[in-house]
Amino acid sequence: MGFELKRNGIYQHVLDLKENERRCVSRGVVPVTLNRTWWWLSGGRGLGTVAGTGVGAWPWGGRFLSSTLQRDRRWGWGTWGGGLSRGASGRLSELRPWIATGGGPGGGGSSELDKGGRVRCSRRLWMLLGTLVLVFLTSLFFSMSLRGGVGLNYLEPPSWEESRRVKLVPNYVGAHRLSSPDLPQQKTCACLRCVGDPGVSEWFDENYDPDISPVWTRDNIELPSDVYYWWVMLQPQFKPHSIQQVLLRLFQVIPGRSPYGSWDPGRCLRCAVVGNSGNLRGAGYGASIDGHNYVMRINLAPTVGFEEDAGSHTTHQFMYPESAKNLAANVSFVLVPFKTLDLVWITSALSTGQIRFTYAPVKQFLRVDKDKVQIFNPAFFKYIHDHWTKHHGRYPSTGMLVLFFALHVCDEVNVFGFGADSRGNWHHYWEQNRYSGEFRKTGVHDADYEAQIIQRLAKAGKITVFPGK
């Protein structure tokens, strides 16, 4: 009978404990397990939990797994199996006065339990924040050790490698913007004035593109779509052929590669661009022209009989099919194509001789050195039209094409035979043309604008113009 009363009293205390635990949970206080609570309330008789060994029991019934118990034991949030943890012993000390007083809803034990729960929650929050900060600092120091320290690149001056990289690529358009203004001006050649020297003219550097090749080769055989459509519309009356097949056949006849290299600080490659203006007659530039490494001439320009004024030496002859002529073995024939038919013609003229007519009679066979034949790149053609002549005229004149060809392969460029003579006549030096001004009135080329470009290039120090007579 006494045992039953004692047991009923314990059961009443447990019911009170459940009720107050519910109140703790509603206030945000983490519940405790009943393993040791049962043991303590039973006086050490080993009543155990209602859930059985190895499984936690909530005060209001139900179970939670042993993994939860392990987590609670690790953080001091509960107790089980062997010995009380610090968190559990603290909770039991708080529960003793509450149980002794009957655990009434308004009793002092409840307020003390609320206070202890808040302290424990605050302690756990600070432990969690401290752990996160520790993890962050550890990862930060680890990344710093891998990188060799924290670098603020925007506060550091340019390294030696960066300044050296600018020197190794002297033909880069923006190289002068990367170098320090205190450093001496970099030279891209051994001439007195070099075309490729950056920082001389902002206007020139903004428009000059050293990466575009003036020669059409196997490496740049494919044209961008905008270039192709612009190019075939230069003479739209001709049906375009399959450009890939035409070029593949052509490159079986000619080398299809560019003979020009990049800038060389130890080289001085001097080029003379010789136009056909009547201002050459009587100028006496012949010896000066022949003294250049490259002498570039245009279309049918003769030298025999005009050696004193126009020189006798020629390395490059720029022509289109309707103006082509036979050349000496040491002269490079540079074809300026305006349509795909021109590519078919040069292939035929160097092999089978099938084509005799385009819009005018053309040479059936052409006697030139096949290994020196070069094709003017249509992408370079459009680059001049976009960047330099700025769409003035339908397309640039052959003289402008040759001038900018030289500006991309030579170190020093000198210009002869461009513009009108002293009396304002526009005619060829080998003939008296009574229609001297007709070239300026065709609308195909804007001669006045091209003359302004030449003057501006001369003012920028990129070319030297010999005015003639």
Catalytic (active-site) positions: 395, 445
Q: What is the side-by-side order of every strand in the sheet holding 270-274?
A: 374-375, 332-335, 316-319, 294-298, 270-274, 412-416, 464-466
Three-state DSSP class for 277?
A: strand
Cβ-Cβ contacts under 8 Å for 95 (sequence gap 6 or more): 17, 37, 109, 113
* Run of H or E residues at 76: none
d(CA 13, CA 41): 9
* Run of H or E residues at 444: none
CA 255 distance to own-chain centroid:
32
Q: What does the block give as tokens for 102? A: 């009957």
Helix extents (H) in 190-316: 202-207, 225-232, 243-250, 286-290, 307-310
d(CA 38, CA 109): 19
Cβ-Cβ contacts under 8 Å for 204 (sequence gap 6 or more): 457, 460, 462
Cβ-Cβ contacts under 8 Å for 189 (sequence gap 6 or more): 195, 196, 197, 263, 264, 265, 267, 268, 269, 411, 412
d(CA 330, CA 309): 22
* Run of H or E residues at 200: none
Instruction: Please tell me what DSSP assigns to residue 339.
Output: S
Is the CB of residue 98 less than 8 Å from the CB of residue 112? yes
d(CA 387, CA 404): 11
d(CA 36, CA 347): 102
CA distances to 145, 155, 227, 247, 344 from 242, rounded to whole Å, are 59, 55, 15, 9, 10
Three-state DSSP class for 310?
A: helix
Q: Is the alpha carbon torsion for 75, 81, 82, 83 positive or negative? A: positive
